[in-house]
Chain A
């Protein structure tokens, strides 16, 4: 029996006491003497040529210390993606042209907010307004206003305008597959524009001091921020230090380099004083990056028993004015299509279309909720047509353990089948499905199911994580990790692993994290790989320190390392109980006899060790992940058929994350994602008109309040295990679970009402419209 003391236990958060007492220091809390206030001038037009910028009046205003425009930059571009096919495409301030409302044109640093705002108002910009386009289908048409030229390689493939990138891939022969199918159907789905909703605003404090740029910025990956910031400033990476702060939520929205981060840095370099820029909530809503609205066309052919034979998927992304992560989401939508079910013949095309909207960022799930909503909705329709229940059709197609994926990856012990079975049983899906529609009354209940799969820790800069474990003289340990705790609990998880490997009380493990100067490089909290990648690095580093100490003890006891055991920082010899030595004494011995070796453990980890880089975004060729997580979720909804008002009563998440290092933290992730999916399903929508954001506040961008949250249950399907001293495999648990539950809600609404919704959000108006359509059809038949 594998006895574990810390891993697998629901331990309280390491950062909890700081956060409940107000001691936790977030970027907005850092104070430096002499700090100037920075503000940005943003475009009032969706598309315009900049004919002239005159900053002289702003410069002349007393209290203004610096004003910058594109002429004050090095003209170095950056991008969320930086590959040979998709090179950096965006400057830090607009050059000669603005392509969306809110695009950054100039920045000022002044002694206070009012002066900074006055200075912004004094900058004169002359524009020539250009025709603009906001809808991706309009933007694709020949002759549409050109936001960005179609990518040169794509130009040869498709005849559309404004195509920033294209992913085209597949296998088998879909035409043959459709011909061999017993039933084929085509549907079109749409997912709307939503935002991350992090509570802490975007904020950056930069201080140029002694040829070094010190930065405190609200982010989800300090090493990515450092690389991008150093690059656009033309500084060596070592000249930029991103300090650790607590981070008030990210959800995908704080990984790109933002103009304000550059401007705070540049203004500090020009003035020699610290500069802070805080985005207002309106700016975050109307000028910063949101998630990705997708149009999805799905054609699926199945056998009579529900076995998928062929699938053709086309995803069109309204990508905004620059590349952002627009070319990534069309790659990922392919990935999230192919993970959960066997698709013998697949044809996939993804198009990223530039429009005069703000740029897009990753958002929790990054394409997964959208595509799973579409596929799982259609799958339920197919099942009904074939007279199969929702559980059976999913089991029929679900990937089995150790199955090879068409891209060369393996799902290892992937537990999807168990997830579906357990979810089906726990929620009693088969017995309850179809009852709601037949029930009388105006308040009807329905149940629905959705499946998703997710990758973990793919290869994206900086590709790997290092961890250092330093033993202190008293036998306690300090962990240096670049991992950033954005609320998911990475510091707690890493501490649990280190405590386990070193047989240390967890109170003796202290974490120093996410400081680019003092901690090793880390992949960051944005590609769902921290517990696996950084965790394994921490395991290795702690194991490395432990082995050094045990070897020394074994030498001293004249026994083998395997004969030793540790309890409360004391090493004992199993063969001779009289022999023991404390960590404190071993460390002293190491210093004395090993030329001062203070016992430092080193660890590093990288996924896909035999693969050079991330797969091609354009062709999907190359291996992608060695950690596929699976889940099956159900939702029970209640619909008022008179008003169309609907709500989720209960959600169930059955998932395979390998094993939970901290089950309570996993449950935290589940609940948060269910809540976010509820927002996607019913409430949240960025409303835009002609490139302007109509609802840049939380009053009108309706995130779920405490009233909306449903009962949320979860169950782990354990497929992997943790053994001290051995590499382990954990899987993603913080992103993908916004997906199956969204699809489950759509399917549950159908179950309750017979209304099949093809677009999010599921507003009362849409549900009512669907019910009336059904009523009309019923009358016509009668």
Chain B
């Protein structure tokens, strides 16, 4: 019989995250990023992992209502905190007005940037219900999109904030 390997020294810790209103307890190592914990441990894969470098915004989530990059956030630093991900934007089957506006304006193509965009824009609208185009751009400048050319996304935020933009698609 082979010898049992020595148990490694562990620096893991148990943390609790309140994600979209539900508490999850997970055991994480210091090196685990929030995006890994959300996607791999909690199973919420709506948050996308685009670059791991903090440069694309696809992994944006709301941490205590502020948009942050989950690929550059230590999960162990988030113990006890509130998180919102794309899975938490709709109430049951009822889409948020912003989600509906993304559909109506054709602001979604491949969809990979969409969760991050939605969360950045949600944070904006919760703080600034009627943002100007400049404010929208400033809020979304950290979210890259390669498909849409952004104009439809700006239109979607304007539609969601009831600023005279009507649906492009039926």
Contact = CB atoms under 8 A, between A and B. Distances in A.
Whether chain A touches chain B in the assembled complex (some CB pair under 8 Å): yes
Interface string B44-65: 1111111111011010000000
B89 A21 contact: yes
20 contacts: A12-B103, A13-B169, A17-B103, A20-B99, A21-B99, A23-B87, A26-B112, A28-B49, A29-B39, A31-B43, A199-B58, A199-B144, A664-B169, A668-B109, A672-B146, A675-B146, A699-B55, A703-B144, A705-B141, A706-B143
A650 B91 CA distance: 39
Contacts of A155: none
B112 A22 contact: no
A196 B146 CA distance: 9
Interface in A12-47: 12-13, 15-26, 28-29, 31
A697 B55 CA distance: 7
How many of chain B's residues touch chain A, expressed as a range? Answer: 35 or more
A672 to B, nearest CB: 5
A251 B52 CA distance: 21
Given A20-B99, A249-B112, A249-B146, A699 B106 contact: no
Contacts of A108: none
Nearest to B55: A698
Contact of B109 (A29, A200, A488, A711): A488
A706 B155 CA distance: 12
A665 B106 contact: yes
B110 A668 contact: no
B165 interface: no
Nearest to A16: B103
A706 B111 contact: no
Interface in B51-83: 51-53, 55-56, 58
Interface string A699-713: 100011111010110
A664 B106 contact: yes
Interface in A665-708: 665, 667-668, 671-676, 697-699, 703-707
A577 interface: no
A374 B110 CA distance: 31
Interface in A146-183: none
A462 B44 CA distance: 36
A524 to B, nearest CB: 15
Contact of A246 (B56, B103, B111, B143): B111
B151 interface: yes
Contacts of B114: 19-20
A55 B110 CA distance: 40
Contacts of B85: 22
A668 B52 contact: no
Q: Classify the interface of chain B: helix, strand, loop or mixed.
A: loop
A698 B46 contact: no
Contacts of B5: 62
A249 B113 CA distance: 10
Contacts of A667: 106, 168
Given A20-B114, A22-B47, A667-B106, A672 B147 contact: yes
Given A11-B169, A698-B55, A22 B86 contact: yes
Contacts of A579: none
A280 B85 CA distance: 23
A248 interface: yes
Given A199-B146, A247-B110, 10 more contacts: A198-B112, A199-B113, A200-B112, A248-B50, A281-B52, A668-B152, A673-B149, A676-B146, A698-B53, A703-B144
Contacts of A23: 46, 87
A671 B115 contact: no
Interface in B10-57: 39, 43-53, 55-56
Contacts of A703: 144, 146
A10 interface: yes
Contacts of B140: 706
A664 B137 CA distance: 22
A742 to B, nearest CB: 14
Contacts of B158: none
A196 B99 CA distance: 27
B170 A487 contact: no
Contacts of A362: none
B124 interface: no
Contacts of B148: 668, 671-672, 675
B87 A707 contact: no
Q: Which 6 A-B pairs have the closest CB atoms?
A: A22-B46, A487-B110, A248-B112, A19-B111, A675-B149, A671-B149
B151 A13 contact: no
A393 interface: no
A667 B114 CA distance: 18
A555 B95 CA distance: 47
B165 to A, nearest CB: 14
Nearest to A678: B149
A251 B112 CA distance: 14
A197 B55 contact: no
A201 interface: yes
Contacts of B51: 201, 281, 697-698
A487 B141 contact: no
A459 interface: no
Contact of B146 (A19, A62, A247, A251): A251
Interface in B103-123: 103-104, 106, 108-115, 118
B125 to A, nearest CB: 15
